[in-house]
Amino acid sequence: MTVTGAHRLLPAEWMPQSGIMLIWPHGHTDWNEDLAAVEAVYLQLAQGITSYEKLLVVCHSDAHLQHVSGCLNEAGISAHRVRYAVQPSNDTWARDSGPITVLEDGTARLLDFRFNGWAGKFEHDLDDRITAGLIAQGIFDNVPAEHVELVLEGGSIDSDGAGTLLTTTSCLLHPDRNPGLSRDELEIQLRHHLGVEHILWLQHGSLAGDDTDGHIDMLARFCDTGTLACSVCEDPTDENTPALSTMRAELAQLRQPDGQPYRLIDLPIPAPIYDEAGQRLPGSYANFLIINTAVLVPLYNDTNDAVAMAKLADAFPDREIIGIDCRPLIRQNGSLHCITMQLPASIPI
Residue 325 lies in a domain: yes
pLDDT higher than 70, residue 343: yes
What is the domain-level CATH number for residue 65? Answer: 3.75.10.10
Tell me what pLDDT residue 80 has.
97
pLDDT at 21: 98
Are the CB atoms for 43 and 73 separated by under 8 Å? no
Query: Tens of pLDDT along 28-62?
Result: 999 999 999 999 999 999 999 999 999 999 999 99
Stretch 120-131: mean pLDDT: 97
Summarised one tens digit per residue, pLDDT across range 59-85 is 999 999 999 999 999 999 999 999 999
Calpha distance 193→195 (Å, rounded): 6
Separation CA 243–CA 205 (nearest Å): 5
Choose, from 59, 230, 233, 338, the residue flagged as catalytic. Answer: 338
Query: pLDDT (tens digit, 9 = 90+) per residue, 138-185?
Result: 999 999 999 999 999 999 999 999 999 999 999 999 999 999 999 999
Q: What's the domain count of the chain?
A: 1
pLDDT of residue 163: 98
Residue 112 covered by a domain:
yes
Distance of alpha carbon 17 from alpha carbon 129, whole angstroms = 24
Q: What does the pLDDT read at residue 3?
A: 44
46: left (phi over 0), alpha (psi -120 to 50) or beta: alpha
Q: For residue 225, give every residue at least 6 positions away whose Cβ sits within 8 Å of its Cβ, in sequence order, or none.
A: 12, 160, 161, 162, 164, 256
Sequence letter at residue 279: Q
pLDDT for residue 124 is more than 60: yes
Residue 6: predicted pLDDT: 79
Does residue 176 lie in a domain region?
yes
HSE-CB at 132 with a 13 A cutoff on CA atoms is 12
- Give me the mean pLDDT over the 266-287 stretch: 97
Kindly state whether residue 349 falls inside one of the protein's structural domains.
no
| Cβ contact 82:55 at 8 Å | yes
Mean model confidence pLDDT for the chain: 97
59 a catalytic residue: no
Residues pairing with 109 in the sheet: 102
Instruction: With respect to residue 3, please indicate whether it lies within any of the assigned structural domains.
Output: no
Answer for the pair 268, 207: CB distance below 8 angstroms, yes or no.
Answer: no
pTM of the model: 0.97
- 189-223, pLDDT tens digit by residue? 999 999 999 999 999 999 999 999 999 999 999 99
Q: For residue 50, which amino acid is it?
A: T
Residue 94 belongs to what domain range? Answer: 8-344
Would 1 be classed as within a structural domain?
A: no
- pLDDT tier, 2 (very low <50, low <70, confident <90, very high otherwise): very low
Residue 203 lies in a domain: yes
What was the pLDDT predicted at 5?
65
The pLDDT of residue 146 is: 97
In a domain, 149, yes or no: yes
